[in-house]
Amino acid sequence: MTSQARSTISLQVLLHDEPVGLLTNRGTPARSSGKGSPLAAPSQGWLQFSYAPEWLERTDAVPLSLHLPLQDKPFDHWASHAFFAGLLPTGALRQALVNQLHIAPDDDLALLEALGADCLGAVSLRKAQSGRKRYAMDLVSSILPAASAAPQLPLFEEGQAESGQGQAAEQALLHACGELILGREPAHRAAWPAGDTVVPIWQEDEAGTASELSSHVLWMAPGGQDAALLQRAFTLKLLQKLGVPVLPGQLMQSESITTLLQLRPDRQLGEDGLVTRVQTETLGQALGLAPGAATSRQAAGWAASFAVLREHAHPSVLPVLQLLDMVIAFALVGDATASPHRLLLQRAQTSGNWQLAPLWDVCSTLVASAPHLPEPSRMALSIGRHSSTGAPSDAAWDEFAQQCGLSPNQVRKRVRTLAQAMRTALPQVLEDETHAQAWQHPAVSQLALHLRARADQMARSAG
């Protein structure tokens, strides 16, 4: 079917519930870019985003994304797709949704219409008009038993799992697992851009009414299959000990399930315990990289990420240093899935400046989380021309520094400082009585040995 034969579908795009523009499937590719042709049009048609004239006339108007500056000219498919596709779930969760909706795997508009009420950051979408039948989702009955919404938990209090609240909190988390994206009312589902093991959960007010905004993300794994999740929790705890900006989490274990609960990094928790949206986008979206493109363009992506911070973050020095710490942290722990799409930019509501959000999703892949998984063939990201699992050399860090407009001496000094800090922090984290049982898992113990060796290598190579 050609794009001309498709019905026009339009979604109204809102920012903080204010209409800012329109997303449709009546766009065209940027033919001069060589990225596509009408013969290869996706099932949904070519996307096109346009700012509303009323929004452009406002004195307080801000762009939806750094890659979508305010302009009266519509954005082509590639610019539009890079931002809006970055709002959608990925992996097995996306596949489950398209299977249940009976739509094509590349129909982003159908997913955005179904999940647009609770997207990443302060963006939401709702149907403006439709020329074809849309598909309602009624999936929970075939996937999960019905469950009540999880109450708000007092998060991040060390030792809670061992306190008298432990059993009640565990039951709340088990109920939360029944409140997957697939189990919400259509207007309350979230387009959280993550894999199938991460689900958003909602708060309840005193009357027991669930908020329309999800407030937390819940990583979960069945008992006996939680090695990867425990490695993730350990990695986050270690980086937090190093002073790298990390979103804290609440780890809980039972015989049936292991969970890691975090406040969503695109939300702010008020004194009243309720959450509000924060305008947020990934660095990948800010760079115009479509989901999945960051890996093949990793080297250029990191250099461009530093350039974006210098241009749009004020003052620019602190965010640049924070990004440097995050990249070094990815290399230290050996996270083979690191990319600009894993880092979030937030716009401060008072100043309007962009800043980096704390890391929320970091997991070492130096050690396989299951016996059947192969050992990784590369490290977290390319440092200069270095892409093996060993520690990058001084020459590799120097080349990386030059690519990213940084001082080679400053980069090597920071690598050495964080590597030495990790050697000190590892035994402290392992001896933490709060998570002693979790850290005794063989996958975590093996990871700690690998990380100690890696810290030694990187401290010496940057010496």
Please tell us whether the domain made up of 277-461 is placed in CATH 1.10.15: no
Which comes out higher in pLDDT, residue 379 or 268?
Answer: 268
The arithmetic mean of pLDDT across residues 321-332, rounded, is: 94
Domain ranges of the chain: 3-129, 152-275, 277-461
The pairing of beta strand 257-263 with beta strand 210-222: antiparallel
For the cut 70, the answer to whether the pLDDT of residue 70 exceeds it is yes
d(CA 390, CA 91): 29
pLDDT at position 189, please?
A: 45
Going 399 to 400 to 406 to 409, the CA torsion angle's sign is negative
pLDDT at position 23, please?
A: 95
Most confident of the ranges 32-41, 121-130, 316-325, 417-426: 417-426
Q: What is the DSSP string of 207-249?
A: TSPEEEEEEEEEEEEETT--HHHHHHHHHHHHHHHHT--B---
pLDDT at position 177, please?
A: 43
Which comes out higher in pLDDT, residue 317 or 187?
Answer: 317
pLDDT at position 4, please?
A: 41
In this structure, what token pair is assigned to residue 98? 């398209």
What SS3 class is residue 167? helix
d(CA 150, CA 201): 7
For the cut 70, the answer to whether the pLDDT of residue 294 exceeds it is no
d(CA 382, CA 301): 11
Which comes out higher in pLDDT, residue 254 or 134?
Answer: 254
For the cut 70, the answer to whether the pLDDT of residue 291 exceeds it is yes
What is the percentage of the chain residues whose pLDDT exceeds 90? Answer: 34
d(CA 378, CA 374): 12
For the cut 90, the answer to whether the pLDDT of residue 152 exceeds it is no
pLDDT at position 6, please?
A: 57
The arithmetic mean of pLDDT across residues 103-117, rounded, is: 85
pLDDT tens-digit series, residues 157-202 = 344 444 444 444 444 444 444 334 434 444 444 555 555 456 566 5
pLDDT tens-digit series, residues 335-378 = 877 888 889 999 987 777 899 999 988 888 787 766 555 555 55
Mean pLDDT across the chain: 76
pLDDT band at 84 (very low <50, low <70, confident <90, very high): very high
For the cut 60, the answer to whether the pLDDT of residue 432 exceeds it is yes
Most confident of the ranges 127-141, 195-209, 248-262: 248-262
Residue 301 has φ and ψ, to the nearest 5°, of -65, -40
Look up the pTM and report it: 0.81
pLDDT tens-digit series, residues 374-417 = 555 555 567 877 766 677 888 889 999 999 999 999 999 999 99
Residue 332 has φ and ψ, to the nearest 5°, of -60, -45
Polymer length of the chain: 463
pLDDT at position 339, please?
A: 83
pLDDT band at 99 (very low <50, low <70, confident <90, very high): confident
The answer to whether 69 and 63 are in contact (CB under 8 A) is yes
For the cut 50, the answer to whether the pLDDT of residue 33 exceeds it is no
Least confident of 239-253, 293-307, 397-411: 293-307
pLDDT at position 392, please?
A: 80
pLDDT band at 430 (very low <50, low <70, confident <90, very high): very high
Nearest to 380 by CA among 295, 287, 288, 292: 295
pLDDT at position 195, please?
A: 55
pLDDT at position 415, please?
A: 95
pLDDT at position 242, please?
A: 94
d(CA 363, CA 336): 8
Q: What angle do CA 365, 367, 370 make, to 5 degrees?
A: 100
For the cut 80, the answer to whether the pLDDT of residue 38 exceeds it is no
